[in-house]
Structure 1
């Protein structure tokens, strides 16, 4: 999760949504073999859940077997802290909050966000150029630090936003800093090539001891305005974009499918997460966690479905 409060005082950038690439019946965008290299990749998403669901997730013994699960408090820039429930994969992860865990409007059930990261150092300036081509003439830059608890913060990642104003969902581009990887407190892996700032290097190999491997699909319900602010970022990152007749958007890129449903403000929130498994299983296992249902298997796939956190309270 990125502390968006750092940038909220910046004037919003008015973003116009370019025409989406027409796709097939399933909304898949056309892409040629000579498409330019993808700049941004799904890193993680977060959702703010109702208290009952968040508590059930936090106390679940099954989730600790299923995934590399952590309950962790992080201190970021300017001393801002947040406590998240993390399911960590090989390259991607999921972050879940309880209503009230975060400051400001992000604390409300139904809030959500998503980080898209680079794999190679110095790709973020190219994303900035792409954003300007998309009409975001003044993208907002935020530099995030991390404090490991000893009062010595280290540069963590640089990030870009299209706007400082949002209803309940925000997405950002991010690039991990080399200082973070060089700090032994980060416990990150060595790079595999010069300029490697990739997701696999950032996350540990602990996922191998569990069932979950990676997030392969994410579905989030957001307002039309939040979608308008998000599409230019997806385009700048060179995701393949498709549109659905109902106004929703589908973005494809590097193993992860991102779906956005357009809804009224009282229906926003994380709706579904699809995950790959380290090995196939031959049965279907269902786990109820508050107002959510996790179905693991059959085969090497799991689907976690979330209800509207603002209903039934």
Structure 2
């Protein structure tokens, strides 16, 4: 409980200043986010990966992760599927982990992964579609996802586009845009809009991250098969990321998160590393072994989570 108590003490000490500045700073931050979204259409939203069963179980039962991050194990129903995920959620970004066998079909295999990049404003997904056409992809695959909160009444959740409707080998990249109707539904427990057309990641995610150390994901490294990589690069370019492609893979920067995708054989695919910013700097280094992964927190305001290579 030390992490949470420390953060709450800091919150209490800064409360007076926060109240005094709330109007001007809050408005400025909303406007800054709005301007940023006009320059870049897509932003890292979340990634998922299937890890080995030992690591998945260790993540699910880790007491440290529950203190370190806004951590949740949740079963979700949407689009005719039900899945159980292990989530570490920040202010705007998150990571979702599955164990081998948790998902249906080929997604159940170790190393399967996916990347969701999302818009911050209503209508920007249509602009991404236009940008894809300029890159030679005139007919992207489209899909509308719904969510059922358990009462049997599904609600539109988000729209997606992919550069191809062909089955991926191990890595599924998509662009998404949340529905205003989802935010308007009280079951979603989301925040009010900060500007016209606000369908942002920050609005979607809860503010519980402030009670923990983890703030956001700033870097992610995933091994992906070459064919899947080729289908991902145009999507990132259309979204406004600065993409560098080499023989070994691709690096996309923009919006505060760097995405590194290494071109690998299928048997080497999967999550390699996640780097996270923290809500506060920590003085000492803490190392936590979680299954076949290692989370190193500090010193400073950063944490790195590495995952062992497949055996």
Q: Is TM more than 0.5 here?
A: yes
CA positional deviation for 1:100: 0.5
Partners of 1:248 and 1:298 lie apart in 2 by: 30
SS at match of 2:197: coil
- 1:133-155 per-residue CA deviation (whole Å, 9 max, x = no partner) reads 11112101100000000000110
Cα distance in structure 2, aligned partners of 1:203 and 1:264: 34
The one of 58, 61, 66 equivalent to 1:59 is 61
Q: Whose RCO is larger (CA < 8 A, sep 6+)?
A: 1
Does residue 252 (structure 1) correspond to residue 253 (structure 2)? The answer is: yes
2: distance between equivalents of 1:65 and 1:209? 9
Q: Distance in 2 between matches of 1:266 and 1:163?
A: 23
2:50 matched to 1:41?
no
Please give the alpha-carbon distance, in whole angstroms, between the structure 1 residues aligned to 2:124 and 2:296: 37
Structural RMSD (CA): 0.9
* Stretches of structure 2 lacking an aligned partner (at least 5 in a row): 1-37
Measure, in 1, the Cα distance between the counterparts of 2:251 and 2:206: 29
- Number of the residue aligned with 1:175: 177
Offset of 1:247 from its aligned partner? Answer: 2.4
Structure 1 residue 265, shift from structure 2 partner: 1.0
| Among candidates 219, 222, 227, match of residue 220 of structure 1 | 222
Q: Return the TM-score normalized by structure 2.
A: 0.86
Q: Is the helix fraction higher in 1 or 2?
A: 2
Aligned residue pairs total 273
Q: Determine helix, strand or coil for the equivalent of 1:294.
A: strand
Distance 1:86 1:117 in 2: 18
State the alpha-carbon separation in 1 of the partners of residues 304 and 177 from structure 2.
28
Deviations 1:112-144 (A, max 9, x none): 001000000011111111111111121011000
Tell me what 1:198 maps to: 200
1:152-301 matches, within 5 Å, as: 152-164=153-165, 165-244=167-246, 246-301=247-302
Relative to the length of structure 1, the TM-score reads 0.86
Q: Which 5+ residue runs of structure 1 have no aligned equivalent? A: 1-35
Partners in 2 of 1:241 and 1:49 — Cα distance? 27
Using the TM superposition, give the Cα deviation of residue 52 of structure 1 relative to its aligned residue in structure 2, in angstroms.
0.2
Aligned counterpart, 1:98: 99
Superposition pairs for residues 73-152 of structure 1, below 5 Å?
73-78=75-80, 80-152=81-153
SS of the residue corresponding to residue 273 of structure 1 reads strand
Q: Distance in 1 between matches of 2:227 and 2:299?
A: 38
